[in-house]
Structure 1
């Protein structure tokens, strides 16, 4: 059973949301329909496990801490919120890709590693459904995200204390500190997010990322649909019925 938004009896922080998701156990937290017919479903416990492993990698291998600028050069995809949540859990600042966003970043998480030559640490993310490694040759020094993440533990290691006043999200529209991140996310979701919420994975990931965070803060479950997975209205309606979606956000 979902938890109404006004019953969110926990601090409005990413760690608190992760605690709730883990407590939900086997209940679906994120369901992804990709462009090549793939369907990936992550329970709350599995999503948190991915975030935990990724946080450990960011902290232990890439020294992510408050003040670290992490560029997410990724499309709207199920892997994108994993990396964002992990960066926030480590206290880092997430930047979403813009033409000038690569300037001054410390870590680049990207599906296009060859285009990043800024001197930042580069993490290459394979986008096919459940890819376990990067398919191809990586630039010198780049990490293979899938292979590297799986080497890290399922228990969160020592993480830096999150500075609530430090930047959590940087977009074209401005900067959001950690203290305001969840409230900003909830304002991006125009409807209650305490059921099965369908989001369209199109364009820049900013909107779907914030709407996903708001849905989880409200006790809901995200169904993230790439346009190619449901190319017409009938296909989309059938998909939403099959997933028992209660709210659709276009």
Structure 2
């Protein structure tokens, strides 16, 4: 008895790690991939090529300054913001672990800093006295320096990142089973971070910063994994748009986003 050949299994083109993701978003290098609406009417647009450029520079800093790689724990003490996205992608590109900072009034801050290798923060004084190396991040797009006195040995990201190469240097191999994200007691591996649900291919969607850093990152990865793009709103901007439906409709129309 002759049977028909089985059809080939569907191809799964979803990224399995950050390197895959960056190759995907740069296939059309000039296409907007992340548009940020921040406070003070700030709008920043990153094409695939520009996003990759920022990630490469930041990855090079992490590897060259801190020997970042699998097992390195990097605390992100940053709000939902386009710079936070770049730092998270760069940390994952080295194979290291993103550790989300505890809440403002959480008494475990000192303990987290003691177990961290690097802290990337807008509030370096909060982490003074811990064993971690400090990187101070200025959030405004045009900032060229942190703008405040830094603790001894802290790196000013606003000036330091720009001194690193646009092309990625040597980076360690990523262990897919190693921890990629720590959020309190919850830990997610690199493999699981990229096991995202594929959205409609090529969609451009608004991502609400009120989801917080983990929620925003998860949504962005889902969109990019499906060859989409995102408009990321600062929490206060999202709240303001809720109160002004006409303004929200204009933004959606101008960004061609859903």
- TM-score of the two chains, using structure 2 as the length reference: 0.86
Gaps in structure 2 of 5+ consecutive residues: 1-9
2:123 is aligned, of 103, 107, 112, to 112
Mapping for residues 15-164 of structure 1, pairs under 5 Å: 15-98=19-102, 99=106, 100=108, 101-117=112-128, 118-164=130-176
**Larger radius of gyration between Structure 1 and Structure 2:** 2
The residue number in structure 2 matching 1:216 is 224
Equivalents in 2 of 1:18, 1:83: separation in Å? 14
Equivalents in 1 of 2:13, 2:217: separation in Å? 22
2:214 matches 1:197: no
- TM-score of the two chains, using structure 1 as the length reference: 0.89
Structure 1 residue 237: deviation in Å? 2.1
Equivalents in 1 of 2:14, 2:209: separation in Å? 29
Equivalents in 1 of 2:92, 2:145: separation in Å? 24
Equivalents in 1 of 2:113, 2:223: separation in Å? 29
* CA shift digits 1:32-78 (9 cap, x unpaired): 00011010000000000000000000000111010000100000000
2:241 matches 1:229: no
SS in 2 for 1:26: coil
* RMSD over equivalenced CA pairs, Å: 1.8
Which is further off, 85-94 or 128-137? 128-137
- Asked if 2 retains the 8 angstrom alpha-carbon contact of 1:201 and 1:224, the reply is yes
Equivalents in 2 of 1:130, 1:30: separation in Å? 17
- Asked if 2 retains the 8 angstrom alpha-carbon contact of 1:95 and 1:169, the reply is yes
Equivalents in 1 of 2:246, 2:189: separation in Å? 41
Structure 1 residue 229: deviation in Å? 3.0
Gaps in structure 1 of 5+ consecutive residues: 1-5
